[in-house]
Copies of this chain bind each other. A is one copy, B any other.
Amino acid sequence: MRVTIAVDAMGGDHGLSVTVPAVSNFLAATPEAQVIMVGRAEPLEAALATVDKTLRPRIAVRVATEIVEMDEPPADALRRKKDSSMRIAIDLIKNGEAQACVSAGNTGALMAIGKFVLKTLRGIDRPAIATQLPNTRGVSTVLDLGANVNCSPEQLLQFAIMGSALTTAIEGNDNPTIGLLNIGEEETKGNEVVKEAAELLKHSGLNFYGNVEGNDIYKGTTDVVVCDGFVGNVALKTSEGLVQMLYQFLKDEYTRNWRTRLAALFSYRILKSFKKRLDPRRFNGATLVGLRGVVIKSHGSADELAFEFALRKAYQEVAHGMLDRIAQRIEAVSAKLPLVTLLDADRADRGADA
């Protein structure tokens, strides 16, 4: 399937020095993809001069005169940076020239611009941030990771619908199991929002497993784990911190003296392959799900390989019809839960102001 991805070529900590080689590798591996690079004219053309000539025809260029800074308040980026590489990349989805956008820039600005320009999907109150995390069986899709600190039970249900559709698109799993993150498996546990969300999920027709706990994310108890953005963000960052600490401890032990350094040599390939399984670059690319377009946020510090994974994710979501799948699942859930006005047009149209 022919897929066109708009790339914020200037975004992230490294800008063109990462986005251009990543796009080049991505295009070489994905013959049906093409890319529109959005950025400052001269540096972008200069960087593109290094790209293999056979790939160059699949790269279009769109000039942007501004850049959204990493620490710029989202509201400022939205109001004042109308000619930024990020804004134009998203505009390209809106006007139909691209089906997806990938940016390593400011997350808050990307979400604000995405909501304003694209609006939210019908039936979705607020977009969420979703990503895949490794588990002992494969991967889990977890959302929300920080876009919404206070969520209603209906929003958690919407996250479940979106997570389910996203997992189908990315993992090819037609009926993913959904877990609701809680502090115990029993139905009596948790706060009121989670209890009400469990009731909605039970009657939603989705493949609802029930409550799961933090450890279930990495056990892989369910394919999707749903939570509010505060809890999801803490779970994700706690995990990042713990992995860093464990690497540090392993390093401490292996560099203690000449004997342990020798053992490290014997274990070199083993430790390398251990680290590879957890390599965050392979999981790079969070989906801003719920927008009327595929928008992928790459980590700001992404290198070539990591940014390439974010591009691949954008491609997969478009190629496997993620947006249509969400729409279909919203219809299906609405048929089961008539009391929940998931398809209330008024609500959906409020999306952009939220």
The chain A residues found within 8 Å of chain B, CB to CB, are: 134-136, 146, 149-150, 181, 183, 190-191, 213-219, 227, 229-231, 233-246, 248-250, 253-254, 256, 260, 262-264, 266-267, 270-271, 273-274, 277-278
Chain B residues near A237 (CB, 8 Å)? 183, 213-215
Chain B residues near A274 (CB, 8 Å)? 249-250, 253
**Residue from A219, A256, A262, A266 having most chain B Cβ neighbours under 10 A:** A266
Chain B residues near A271 (CB, 8 Å)? 253
Chain B residues near A262 (CB, 8 Å)? 266
How far, in whole Å, are A234 and B239 apart by their CA atoms in the complex? 11
Are A183 and B227 also in contact (CB < 8 A) when A190-B149, A263-B267, A266-B263 are?
no
Chain B residues near A134 (CB, 8 Å)? 245
Are A190 and B238 also in contact (CB < 8 A) when A244-B218, A263-B270, A266-B263 are?
no
How far, in whole Å, are A216 and B244 apart by their CA atoms in the complex? 11
Pairs across A and B, CB under 8 Å, 25 listed: A136-B245, A146-B183, A149-B191, A150-B191, A181-B234, A183-B229, A191-B230, A214-B234, A214-B235, A214-B237, A215-B237, A218-B241, A235-B235, A238-B239, A239-B239, A242-B242, A243-B246, A246-B246, A249-B274, A249-B278, A253-B270, A253-B273, A263-B266, A263-B270, A264-B267
**Contact yes or no, B214 A236, CB < 8 A:** yes
Q: What's the minimum C-beta distance from A20 to chain B, rounded to whole angstroms? A: 30
Chain B residues near A181 (CB, 8 Å)? 234
Are A277 and B249 also in contact (CB < 8 A) when A183-B234, A214-B241 are?
yes
**Contact yes or no, A245 B218, CB < 8 A:** yes
**Contact yes or no, B278 A246, CB < 8 A:** yes
Chain B residues near A260 (CB, 8 Å)? 270
Q: What's the minimum C-beta distance from A298 to chain B, rounded to whole angstroms? A: 19
**Contact yes or no, B233 A217, CB < 8 A:** no
User: Which residue of chain B lies nearest to A246 when distances are taken between CB atoms in the complex?
Assistant: B246
Partner of A266, one of B150, B183, B233, B267: B267
Are A136 and B254 also in contact (CB < 8 A) when A230-B191, A235-B234 are?
no
Chain B residues near A229 (CB, 8 Å)? 183
Partner of A238, one of B150, B215, B248, B249: B215
How far, in whole Å, are A245 and B136 apart by their CA atoms in the complex? 6
Chain B residues near A266 (CB, 8 Å)? 262-263, 266-267
Q: What's the minimum C-beta distance from A350 to chain B, rounded to whole angstroms? A: 21
Are A149 and B183 also in contact (CB < 8 A) when A249-B274, A270-B254, A270-B260 are?
yes
How far, in whole Å, are A145 and B233 apart by their CA atoms in the complex? 17
**Contact yes or no, A214 B243, CB < 8 A:** no
Chain B residues near A240 (CB, 8 Å)? 214-215
User: Which residue of chain B lies nearest to A216 when distances are taken between CB atoms in the complex?
Assistant: B241
Chain B residues near A243 (CB, 8 Å)? 242, 246
Q: What's the minimum C-beta distance from A287 to chain B, rounded to whole angstroms? A: 18
Are A219 and B231 also in contact (CB < 8 A) when A263-B267, A266-B266, A266-B267 are?
no
